[in-house]
Amino acid sequence: MDSPPSSRPTDRMETWLSPEEWSAVRLSLQVAAVAVAASLPLGVAVAYLLARGRFWGRGALDAVVHLPLILPPVVTGYLLLLFFGRRGPAGAFLEAHFGLVFSFRWTGAALACAVMGFPLMVRAIRLSIEAVDRRLEDAASTLGASPAMVFLTITLPLMAPGVIAGVILSFAKAMGEFGATITFVSNIPGETQTLPSAIYALTQVPGGDAGALRLTLVSVVLSVAALAASEALARAMKRRMAAP
C-alpha cells in the first residue's frame, strides 16, 4: 500500500503543528467566522439605528453597544456566564426552547467573540452610514424606489466599505479574544481552546515554548493576511466609485 502523498499543504501544516495546536487554529477560525457572520446583520441594524434613528434611549443603546470596549474583558466574560450560563436567565431559556448551549462549548466562545467585536463592527459601519449622501437616497425615492429598495440598492452598496472594515475588525478581534472567552467558556482543548488560550496554556507548561512560538507565528500570519485583505478590498471599492 502506497503512503498518502505528503505534499498537500494541510498535511505539512499538520506535521508542523501538533494535533492540539492544529485544532486550536481551526477552532479559532471557526469561532471567529461564526461570531462575525452571526453578529453582522444585528451590527448593520444597530449601526443604522444609531446613525439615522431619532428615538428615546438612543444614547443608552450607544452606551450598551460600547460597554464591551471599556469593561475589563473578564467582567464581560463573567456577565456572559451569569446570563448565558446553563442557570442564567438567557442560557436556561435558549437551552429549553432551542437546545442551544453556550457554557463550555465552542458556541459560547463564538458568543464571547461576537460581543467583544460588536462595538468595533458597529463603529465602522456607523461611520460609513453617516458618510452616505442622503440626497442620493432622495433621488432614488423620486425614481420609484421604496424605502426598503433605497436601502438595498443605494445605502447598502455605498456603505459597503464600512461593512467590510467592520467585518475585518471584528474578525481580527475574535481571533485575538482571550479574557472574556476564557472566563465564560474556560480553556478546553478541542472545544473552547482558541489560539490565544492555547498560547497561554503552552506558556504555563515546561517545554511549551516551541509550541507557543509556532502558534504566535500563525497568529501573526493570519492578522497580516486579514489586514492585507481589508486594504485590497478598500482599494477596489475606492476604484469602483471614485468620488462623484
Q: List contacts with other proteins (CB under 8 A).
A: 133, 135-136, 138-147, 149-150, 153-154, 157-158, 240-244
> Are 112 and 77 a contacting pair, CB within 8 Å?
yes
> Are 112 and 180 a contacting pair, CB within 8 Å?
yes
Least spacing, CB of residue 136 vs other proteins, in Å: 6
Least spacing, CB of residue 152 vs other proteins, in Å: 11
- The residue among 157 and 189 lying less far from other proteins, judged by its C-beta, is 157
- The residue among 139 and 205 lying less far from other proteins, judged by its C-beta, is 139
- The residue among 163 and 172 lying less far from other proteins, judged by its C-beta, is 163
What are the helix (H) ranges across the chain? Answer: 9-16, 19-52, 58-70, 73-84, 89-98, 106-131, 134-142, 147-150, 156-158, 160-176, 179-185, 195-203, 209-240
Least spacing, CB of residue 242 vs other proteins, in Å: 4
Burial class (CB in 10 A: 0-12, 13-18, 19+), 112: buried
Least spacing, CB of residue 143 vs other proteins, in Å: 4
- The residue among 80 and 125 lying less far from other proteins, judged by its C-beta, is 125
Least spacing, CB of residue 239 vs other proteins, in Å: 10
Residue corresponding to grid cell 452616505: 132
Angle at alpha carbon of residue 45, lines to 147 and 118, rounded to 5°? 160
Closest residue by Cα to residue 118 from 196, 39, 63, 224 = 39
- The residue among 96 and 242 lying less far from other proteins, judged by its C-beta, is 242
Least spacing, CB of residue 125 vs other proteins, in Å: 17
- Give the number of residues written for the chain: 244
How many Å from the N-terminal Cα to the C-terminal Cα in the chain?
65
Distance between CA atoms of 234 and 128, rounded to whole angstroms? 12
- The residue among 138 and 231 lying less far from other proteins, judged by its C-beta, is 138
